[in-house]
A and B are shown apart, each in its own frame.
Chain A
Amino acid sequence: MSSLDAAWVYLSSNPLWHLTLTLLAYQLSLKLAAKSGFHPLVNPVLISIVVIIAVLQVTGADYATYFEGAQFVHFLLGPATVALAVPLYRQFVAVRRSLAAILASIITGSVTASATAVLLGYWLGADATTLSSLAPKSVTTPVAMGITEQLGGIPSLTAILVIVTGIIGASLGPLALDAAGVRAMPARGLAIGTASHGIGTARAMQVSEVAGAFSGLAMGLNAVATALILPTLWRLFFG
């Protein structure tokens, strides 16, 4: 065995390699996204996932081996979810006077998002595991994956569906709002944030500060609303 082979055997069994690979792939993807002017179709998470899976295919590592290294990044999802309380509180203070309208709209949006997705998927023949991975697709990724786990779905499939949802909402949502005659910036921001979480919010912030603030608030409140409502409804209908 050459010393290069020996080095590779050492490296590929060390968790540090897959941790570093994750960080490298993400930073490369961020650079690409920045080059595109943060176009919604150039999503850094999606690109990172494709790059890492390609590397794992080449090196022949399985997911369990990859996760031994990547778990250190994954672990921070829980604390980051808790930390979402801080931006949620900041935006909440700014818009608390229209709270009743906001809550009614977001709760309606939350139920619409899950119900239409599950009904369409069911009608087109998706199986139960797929449907439970699809149901929280409008919720911000860390919370959506937690909800999917509760429903018995596949969190990694949810992560992909959440990202695709974000891309569709961010790129086509404004056109749909134009067509529906929704012009008020608070309503536009709230709609984009409820349907397409952080990816939509990033887009809304580029358009207007008001839309961005409402979108960020909608993302946070929709996560809470869906986490409270969806598992309960799910148990009621499918339990």
Chain B
Amino acid sequence: MLAMLTLIFSCQLVGELVVVTFGLTVPGPVLGMLLLFVGLMVRGSTPASLGAAADGLLSNLSLLFVPAGVGVMLHASLLSKQWLPLSVAVFFSTLVTVVVTGWLMQRLGRRAPASTAE
């Protein structure tokens, strides 16, 4: 467990270092995630202890958004000024994205029916 937590932290650290070194615009933890993902692909399976460490971190994932979310209290005036464009944009953009993505996948997925059985 401790070794796997160290592995996860190391992946993030490498991701952050690469981002800073090369001035990339990708968040460091996302690069860390890709690094771990590639590692799993190369290995061909997930070690049980890594699975346990990841599940532990992810079991209360939404708790981890709360501290940052509370920060919205600093932006109450911005929210009160911009709530209309924000609500309209979020509402319609989300539904358009759902329809476009689903429609395209249904069209493309028909050509590979074997995969949908899984």
A residues in contact (CB < 8 Å) with B: 22-23, 25-26, 44-46, 48-49, 52-53, 56, 63, 66-67, 70-71, 73-74, 76-90, 92, 94-95, 97-98, 100-102, 104-106, 108-109, 112-113, 116-118, 120-121, 123-127, 129-130, 134, 137-138, 141-143, 145-147, 149-150, 154-157, 159-161, 163-165, 168-169, 172-173, 176-177, 179-188, 190-192, 194-196, 198, 210, 218, 223-224, 227-228, 231-232, 234-235
Known: A86-B51, A150-B27, A165-B90. A156 touches B105 (CB 8 A): no
Determine the residue in chain B with the shortest Cβ distance to A48: B66
In the complex, B22 has a CB within 8 A of chain A: no
Between A and B, 29 residue pairs with Cβ closer than 8 Å are: A22-B63, A45-B69, A53-B73, A63-B73, A70-B67, A70-B70, A76-B64, A78-B29, A81-B12, A81-B29, A81-B32, A82-B33, A83-B33, A89-B40, A90-B46, A98-B109, A98-B115, A98-B116, A105-B105, A109-B97, A127-B82, A150-B25, A173-B94, A180-B102, A187-B103, A190-B101, A191-B102, A218-B101, A223-B30
Q: Which residues of A contact B93 (CB under 8 A)?
A: 112-113, 116-117, 120, 137-138, 165
Contact flags (1/0) for B5-28 with A, using CB distance below 8 Å? 100110110010000000001111
Known: A44-B62, A127-B82. A86 touches B104 (CB 8 A): no
Dominant secondary structure at the B interface: helix
In the complex, B80 has a CB within 8 A of chain A: no
Whether the pair B99, A180 counts as a contact (CB closer than 8 A) is yes
Q: How many residues of B contact A (CB 8 A)?
A: 79
Q: Which residues of A contact B35 (CB under 8 A)?
A: 82, 85
Whether the pair A187, B50 counts as a contact (CB closer than 8 A) is no
In the complex, B2 has a CB within 8 A of chain A: no
Q: Which chain B residues (46-64) contact chain A, with CB distance < 8 Å?
A: 46, 50-51, 53-55, 57-58, 60-64
Whether the pair B70, A182 counts as a contact (CB closer than 8 A) is no
Cβ-Cβ contact count across A and B, 8 Å cutoff: 342
Whether the pair A77, B64 counts as a contact (CB closer than 8 A) is yes
Dominant secondary structure at the A interface: helix
Q: How far is the CA of A73 from the CA of B85 in the complex (A)?
A: 32
Q: How far is the CA of A12 from the CA of B105 in the complex (A)?
A: 53
Whether the pair A85, B33 counts as a contact (CB closer than 8 A) is yes
Nearest Cβ on chain B to A224's Cβ, whole angstroms: 6
Whether the pair B105, A63 counts as a contact (CB closer than 8 A) is no
Known: A70-B66, A101-B109. A146 touches B27 (CB 8 A): yes
Nearest Cβ on chain A to B60's Cβ, whole angstroms: 8
Whether the pair A227, B85 counts as a contact (CB closer than 8 A) is no
Known: A85-B34, A98-B109. A130 touches B82 (CB 8 A): yes
Known: A45-B65, A63-B73, A87-B58. A137 touches B90 (CB 8 A): yes
Nearest Cβ on chain B to A88's Cβ, whole angstroms: 6
Q: How far is the CA of A231 from the CA of B115 in the complex (A)?
A: 32
